[in-house]
Amino acid sequence: MIAAGLLAKKAVELGLRTPAHVKTSLAPGSRAVTAYLEKADLLKPLETLGFHVAGYGCMTCIGNSGPLAPDIEKEITANDLTVAAVLSGNRNFEGRVHPLIKANYLASPPLVVAFALAGRMDIDFKTEPIVDKSRNGAQRNDGVRLADIYPTDEEIEKAVEQSGALSPETYQKCYENVFQSNETWNAIATQPSKLFAWEPGSTYIQEPPFASARAGGISPPVFSRYSGWTHRGAYAPRSCACLAVLGDSVTTDHISPAGSIKPDSPAGKFLTESGVELSDFNSYGSRRGNDKIMTRGTFANIRIRNALAEGKEGGYTKFLPTGEILPIYDAAMKYREQNVPLIILAGSEYGTGSSRDWAAKGTALLGVKAVIAKSFERIHRGNLVGMGVLPLEFMNGASVESLNLTGEEEFMLPVITSDFTPGSVMSVLASKPVMMNGREMFSEMEFQVRVRIDTPVELQYYLNGGILPTVMNTL
C-alpha cells in the first residue's frame, strides 16, 4: 500500500492522471491503512488519481465499489464489450467486481495504480510509456514509463518508518474505542435476551430452515428401480429431473454469487416486492442471513453457463415438462410444486474457489438431491453432504459428454442406507424418450458412479438430512 501511494505521488508530480473511462476506488483492509497513508502524505496523491477511500475490507472484491458511469454501462451492453478490472485483493471471479466486467485480474496495489494510469490492459510496461497520446489524449508528460515512477525498496522502507505503518500504536489508536466510536451502530435499539428476536419482515436476517430435514420442501427421496416410465411432460414417482448441466471448474461463486443483485433477478424482484429500493439492494454477501434471498440467488451468477438453457447465459434453465426457459429458482419452484427431486450434472473440479457454505445450502433449498460430477473440490463436497445432498462421481473417465447425456433424461439415484460402505461404487439409471417407428419409446442407460460419502460420520449426516438435523436428533 505504501508502494502504491509512492507511485501515485510520483505520477501526480509528473502530471499524470487516470483517463476518464477508468473507474477507481480504494478499500483498505483496515482503518490503520488510511491512518498511515495520511501520515506519510500519500493519501492525497491517491485521491488525485481517483483512489478515494470508499469503504473497508471485502468491499470491492465482493462487488460493492458502486456502479459504472451510465454511458459506459450502456456502451458495454450495446456492444457486448469485454472490459477488465484489476484488483489487489486475494481472489477474484467472473462478474464479481461488477456484473458487466468479464475479464478480471489480480495485481499488487502499485500495479493497480499503474494500470489505472494506462487505462488499458494491453500495455507492456517494460517497453511502452504509461501514457499514449493516441489513446488517452495529450497530458503534460506522455513519455513516463513504469520504471520512472516505481518506488525503490529504500523509498518504501523510509516511508514505512516515517508513517508508523508497522507500529502497534497505529492500530491501537484506530481501534481502542471501536465499541464506542460508531454512533450509528450504537443507536440501534436492542433488548437483552438469551434468544434472538426474529423480525418476520427483515430482508437481512430470517430464522434459518436448516435444522429441519424437510427444509427443501420435498420428502427425502427413496429410490427403487422399476420397469416402465411415465409419458413426456410428467415424472414417475421418485425419479429426478436435471436442473442444470454445467461444465468444468464451476466455482462456488458461480453457484452462489456474493456480488450485486440484479433488479430483474428472482432475488431482485423479491427485494422490490418487499419494499426495498434498488439503491439499498446491497449484495448477496451482505444478505447471507436471509434464506429467501440466498436461495433465489443460487445459480444466479450472470456468467454461469447451463447447457439446458439453450445458449442463454446466466442463471437460467429449461423447465423440462413445458420446455420454458426460466430463471433457475423459478424452475426449481415449479418442480417443487410437482414434488420432483432435482439433480445437477457437472464436469471436473465442481465447487472450486473460495469455500462458501451457501453454495451447498442454496443447492439443498432448491430441492437438489444429488450432484453428479467428474470431480469435486474437497470442501464443497463435504458441504454438500453436510446439507443432505449426495455427491456422485462419474467412473472410469466417463462424463456428461461421453455418456451423451443432455440433462433431459429422468434419473434414478442409488439407495443409501445405514449399512452403506463409504466410497462405494453404485449405479444411476437414466431414461429418455426416443422415437421408434413413429412411436415414442423410452431408452434406458445405466452408468456407475462413486458415492462420495467418504466417512461413517458423513453417512450419518446424509441419512439425517444434514449436520443440523443430526445435531437436533442427538439433542
Task: For each of the domains in the chain, give its residue range(s) and CATH number, in order of start.
Answer: 2-175 (3.30.499.10), 241-474 (3.20.19.10)
pTM value > 0.75? yes
End-to-end CA distance of the chain: 50
Phi, psi for 154 (deg, rounded to 5): -65, -40
The predicted pLDDT at position 66 comes to: 81
**Greater pLDDT, 154 or 178:** 154
Rama region for 353: left / alpha / beta (φ>0; ψ in -120 to 50; rest)? left
Query: Burial of 435 by CB count in 10 Å (0-12 exposed, 13-18 middle, 19+ buried)?
Result: exposed
Report the pLDDT value the prediction gives residue 337, as an integer from 0 to 100: 93
Whether the CB-CB separation of 383 and 359 falls below 8 Å is answered with yes
Is pLDDT of 136 > 50? no
Per-residue model confidence (pLDDT) at position 96 = 79
Round to whole Å and give the CA distance between 456 and 446.
Answer: 27
Residue pair 69/98 in contact (Cβ under 8 Å)? The answer is: no
Q: What is the mean pLDDT of residues 152-171?
A: 93
- The tens digit of pLDDT for each residue in 47-80 reads 999 999 998 988 888 777 888 999 999 999 999 8
Tell me: pLDDT of 245 over 50.
yes
| Range of 108-122, 164-178, 432-446 with top mean pLDDT | 108-122
Residue 42 to residues 8, 115, 285, Cα–Cα distance (Å):
8, 18, 31
Taking the mean position of all CA atoms in its chain, how far away is CA 280?
20
Residue 322 carries which DSSP code?
T
Pairing assessment for the beta strands 103-106 and 439-451 based on DSSP bridges: unpaired
Percent of the chain surpassing pLDDT 70: 91
Question: 95-104, 214-223, 229-238, 291-300: which has the highest mean pLDDT?
Answer: 291-300
Q: What angle do CA 364, 368, 371 make, to 5 degrees?
A: 105
**pLDDT reported for residue 237:** 45
Tell me the per-residue pLDDT of 263-305, one tens digit each, with 9 for 90 and over.
Answer: 999 999 999 999 999 989 988 989 999 999 999 999 999 889 9
What's the pLDDT tens digit per position in 312-334? 999 999 999 999 999 999 999 99
pLDDT at 93: 75
- Average confidence (pLDDT) over 231-258: 79
